[in-house]
Amino acid sequence: MVTLTGSDQVVRELAHPATGAIEAEKVTITDNKEAGVYELWVDGQTAAGLLYNEAGTRVTILATAVFPKFRGKGIAGNLLGGVLDLLRAEGRTATLTCPFATAFVHSHPQYADVVDPTFPGNARSGHGRIH
């Protein structure tokens, strides 16, 4: 799980898309519906996961994790941005309970429209913000 500490690593993880660290053509995001996890794959290896729960058209983002060898490369930001882009395209919304997801949306306001207005989770509280 990504820990928000205000460190340079967190700032790099919040970057979306990764700045050349991982080539875009080598990255895919899949939805493992059985496990309730969006997975980001790099060259056929699972690099990160985003744990979620669904309720109708709303997806609650519970936690984001990046395997150690892929940390510090913007992978978490790529995964979260990709999932939010997908939810927007599908006309779905997100409730944010994951601190990293909350910080990501606060630092990327272009995703604010994907946050569920009725059930925003931590999005309105500022929880998880990096100051």
User: Is the predicted pLDDT of residue 61 greater than 80, yes or no?
Assistant: yes
User: Is the predicted pLDDT of residue 115 greater than 60, yes or no?
Assistant: yes
User: Is the predicted pLDDT of residue 4 greater than 70, yes or no?
Assistant: no
The answer for residues whose C-beta is within 8 angstroms of residue 15's C-beta and 6 or more apart is 74, 77
Alpha carbons 37 and 50: distance in angstroms, whole number: 5
Residue 123 is predicted with a pLDDT of 73
Which alpha helices (H) appear in the chain, and where do they start and end? 8-14, 75-89, 99-107
Q: Is the pTM value of this prediction over 0.85?
A: no
Residue 102 is predicted with a pLDDT of 95
Q: What is the mean pLDDT of the chain?
A: 83
Q: In what order do the strands lie in the sheet with 58-66?
A: 27-32, 37-42, 45-55, 58-66, 93-96
CB 67 within 8 A of CB 46: yes
